[in-house]
Structure 1
C-alpha cells in the first residue's frame, strides 16, 4: 500500500518511486504480453533492452542475461514476440517497464486472421448450421478413423475402445496430420472411407499441439470434404480448448480423440466413467490449488528484496549510460569527420599545387600560342618590308642606273649635276649600274 503524504511528511521522489515499484510488482506477478520489437539494444553486459509496441502504445522492456540465454534466438527489429514478464519500475527515471523472464516468437496473428476469415466464409454458406448436421448412430457397427498411424490419437482411441467396447471393428485410414501435405491427405482419406462404404461413422482428428500443428484441420478443402462426406463425422482435434474449422463443420465435435471414442462406444462402465470424471475434477482442483499456492509463494518471494535486485538496477543504469556514451562518441566522431572533410575541401581550393597546376596550364597555352604569334608578327613585318622596299626602289637612283644612266662624281665624291661645276681636264668618276669609270673632261658645253 502506498503511504499518503501529510502536511508534516511529504514523500521524496525516491520514496515515491520505490513504493510505486512495490505496488506494480505485487499487482502484476506474471503476465504475458505480445508486441513488436523496437529500439533493440544489446550492450556488452549481455542484457537486452528494447521496446514492445503495437499500433497505439509501447512499453519499455529489459531482459537480463540469465533469462535471455534460455531464449534460443536473438530478436530483431520488427519481430513480433510473446514475452512472459513482471511489471516493475526503473526508479532512477520513474519509467515503468517489463522485466522479461521468457520470450518466444509469435506467428499466431496471421493464422488467427486466416482462421477467422474462413470461419466467416463457411458460416455464411451455412456449413455450420445445425440443420444440416446428421445424427450419430446410437450403436456404431464399424468405426473409421482418419488420423496418423503413429500418433497418440489412434493409440488413445484404441485404448478407450478396448476398455469400453473391445468388439467394435475399427478401420484406420492413415494420413499425415501436420505439415504442408497433411490437408490433401486428410481429404483423400475421407474420400477413400466413403468409397469403401464399410463404416457408419468416422473420427477425423489428431492429438494436441500448437495452432500451426493443428492448422491442416483449419484448411478449406478439409472442411468441405467433411461437409460432403456421406458418413457422419466426429471431429476430434487437439485438446478441449482447441477449436478448429473441422470441429464446426463436423456432425459432432469431441474435445479429444479419446472423448470421440467415449462418445461413439457403448457405455458399459457408467460407474467407472463417473469415477474418472471425479478424478479429473480432483486433479483439476488440486492443480488449481497448487497454482494458487505457487503464486502466493512467488508473491512472498518478491516482497523480500534480494540484494541481487539492487545490483541488477545498477547494472541496468550502467548499461544505459554505456549506450548513451557510445551514441555520443559516434555522434562526435561523425561531426569531427564532417569538419575534416570540409577543411580538406577548403585546403584543396587554396593549395599551391592547384595554383601551380593553373599556372602550368596557362604556360603551356602560351607556349603553344607564342610560335603562332611570332610567325604572324614576322609575316606582317615581312609584308611591310616588301612594301617599303618597293617604295624605296621606285625612288632609288640605282633604278635610274639600270636604265643606262650614270652618276658623275667630282674628286670630292660629290655628284655633278651641272657642267659649270667642272673644268676641262678635270678627272671625274662615273658610277654605272655595274661598276665605275674614270673620265677626263675634254670640253664643257654650258647648257641653257
Structure 2
C-alpha cells in the first residue's frame, strides 16, 4: 500500500492517488476478501431497464446494499422479483467505480425459504419413490360411475366451489360430500391424514378427491407431508389429487391413483359428462333399433326362404323338375348320339382314305413314278459324270501332248535310231557307213553315215 508522508512543514505529499486508482485498490481488496456470499433480505427499488439487466436494493431492518444482476442470468429467474419480496441471493461483492459505492453482483436468486423447501421436497420424493409409493403398477382405476364422492378440501376455498359446480353440471346423480380440512399451515397435515383415514375406513365413498387452489410452495407444503403421502397410499378407495395449478406438483400428486392439473379437471375426470352420455345412449338406442330392424328383416328373409323350400318340396313341383330333367337328359342323349355318329363317320372316312392309299394299283403308280424319277436322275448323273470324264481326258491329253516327243518333232526335230532300233544319242556311238533311221513328224528317213 502506498504511504502519504508529509514533511514537518506540511509540504505536498510525495505520492498522490487518483480516485480511479483508489477504487481499483478497494475493489481488489473486496473481491479477494469476499469472492462469493449468500445473503437474505427484502427487495426494494426493483428495476429492469430495456437492456434486460436487473437492478435492486437488498435490505433488512438495519441496512441496505445495492445489487445488480446482469444478462443472461437475469433472464434465467423462475419468478418475477418485486418490491417487498423476501429473497435469497448468491452474489460476489464488487465496487461500482463511477459512484465509488460497493455493490453485490448477483449470480443466482430465489425466494427465501423455497430453496430449502425444494430440497426437502426432492429428498422426500426420492425416498418415497424408492419405497415404491409412486409405482404405477399399484395405481387403481377410477370407477366409471361413482355414486358417492368425498372431497377433502377447505370448505371455504374457491377450489370446492369449482369442484361442486363441475359435479352439478356434468353428473348430478353423484352424491358429493365435502370433507372439510385446513389446507395450509401446521394443523393441515394431521387434519388431512385423519380425514383420509376416516373416509377410507367408513366404506361410504367410491372415490376421494384431495384438492386445493394454487399458491406458493409454502402454501402447498401441507400436501408434501410424508404422513399425508402414506395416508393416500393406504387408502382403500382410489384417490385423485388436484393440488394447485397445472405447473404445481406435490408429493400427493405422485402417490395418488390419478393426478389432475386443476380441481375442475379432477372433477371432470371423476364423473362422466351427462350430456355426452345422453348422446352416447341415443346413439346406442339408434344402433339397437337398426340392429333389431336388420334382425327382423333377416328373419323375414329366412321365413321366405323356408317357404320357397317348402313349396319346392311339393309332389307337383318335384314331378315338374323330374320332367324337365328327363327332357334335358333326352336332349343330351340325342346330342351324344349325333356326336358319336359324326365321330364314327369321320373315322371311317380316315380308314377308307388309308385303304385307298394302300391299294396295289396306287402302289404301282407310285412305284412307276418313283422309277421314272430315279431313271431320270440316273441319266442326268451319267451325263454329268461323262462330261466330267471328257473334260478330264481332254486336260490329260493336252498335258500329255505338251510333253510328247511328237510335239518336239513337229517343231523340226528328229529322232535317230540304229539298226537295232535304239536311239542314237551321240555321234560317237555310230561308225562310218552305218545305216540309221530318222523319225520325223510326218514319217521316217533312211540314213547312212559317211566318213569325214
**Greater RCO between the two (CA within 8 Å, min separation 6)?**
1
TM-score normalised by structure 2 residue count: 0.42
Instruction: Output the TM-score relative to the length of structure 1.
Output: 0.42
Over alpha carbons, which structure has the higher Rg? 2
